[in-house]
Amino acid sequence: MTIYGYWRCSTNEQDQQRQVLSLKQAGCDQILGDKITGTSDWSSRPQLLKCLNLIEAGDTLVISELSRLSRSFMGMVNQVSDLLERGIHIKTLDGRLDTTAMPAEITMLIVSILGYAASQELDQIKTRTAEGRAVAKARGVKFGRKRTYTSFQADEVVRKHNDGDGMGTIAKSVGMSRSMVQRILREHKQKQLLTT
């Protein structure tokens, strides 16, 4: 019987290291992981798919918490059900689930509760993020790519375009790409439309 460890984190390197260290301390024989968002499905997690192909009946899958598998209610319930049907044990390091020590009915009840909680937490995160963006926008915070050219360069691009110079000529003379010149002219046109 093999003990497989699986970690998942979105971007934080420290979170990954913390999970890997915990899985090593839990005695995992093999540790795999993906750096991807919790809302992703199994098919977009190459290391999880590899783990699921390697793991066999009687083996144990160890994860730091159940939300490492999925943050959606249905995703969590379906994934745990699939593993249990294959005879694979699941253990979380937060102590909330250990299928080696509880009957299947209790396992599914716990998974349903944890799945619901994870789903609600994700909804709250999305709501808070949207509210935060709205407040920041109201304060004048600009989102998206930062401007990589000066006002002088933008004025030069517009002047040269008005003089009849082509995109390639303008790009060479001001030292930027054609796509940047097009972007400046597009933004200038939008400003003119707003002020007329």
Q: Any idea what the CATH number is for the domain that residue 177 is in?
A: 1.10.10
Residue 145 lies in a domain: no
Task: Kindly state whether residues 33 and 117 are assigned to the same domain.
Answer: yes
Task: Kindly state whether residues 165 and 104 are assigned to the same domain.
Answer: no
In the listed set 74, 105, 122, which residue is the last one of a domain according to the structure? 122
Mean pLDDT of 11-35: 88
Residue range 108-144, pLDDT digits in tens: 777 777 766 777 776 777 788 788 888 877 877 777 6
Catalytic residues: 10
Task: Kindly state whether residues 104 and 159 are assigned to the same domain.
Answer: no
Residue 131 lies in a domain: no
Task: Kindly state whether residues 185 and 88 are assigned to the same domain.
Answer: no
Angstrom distances, CA of residue 88 to CA of 18, 42, 57, 177 = 24, 17, 5, 55
What is the C-alpha to C-alpha distance for residues 57 and 2, in angstroms, rounded to an integer?
Answer: 10
Q: Any idea what the CATH number is for the domain that residue 112 is in?
A: 3.40.50.1390
Task: Kindly state whether residues 79 and 174 are assigned to the same domain.
Answer: no
In the listed set 68, 101, 122, which residue is the last one of a domain according to the structure? 122
Residue 10 lies in a domain: yes
Could you give the dihedral angle defined by the CA atoms of residues 153, 157, 160 and 165, in that order, rounded to the nearest 10 degrees? 130
Task: Kindly state whether residues 18 and 61 are assigned to the same domain.
Answer: yes
Task: Kindly state whether residues 92 and 182 are assigned to the same domain.
Answer: no
User: What's the number of domains the chain is made of?
Assistant: 2
**Segment holding 35, helix H or strand E:** strand 30-35
151: pLDDT strictly greater than 90: no
| Residue labelled with tokens 């937060």 | 94
| Residue labelled with tokens 């005695």 | 27
Please report which confidence band the pLDDT of residue 13 belongs to, taking 50, 70 and 90 as the band edges: low
12: pLDDT strictly greater than 70: no
Residues 6+ apart with CB under 8 A from 143: 133, 136, 137
Residue range 42-70, pLDDT digits in tens: 678 899 899 989 999 999 999 998 878 87
Task: Kindly state whether residues 92 and 38 are assigned to the same domain.
Answer: yes
Domain that holds residue 185: 151-195
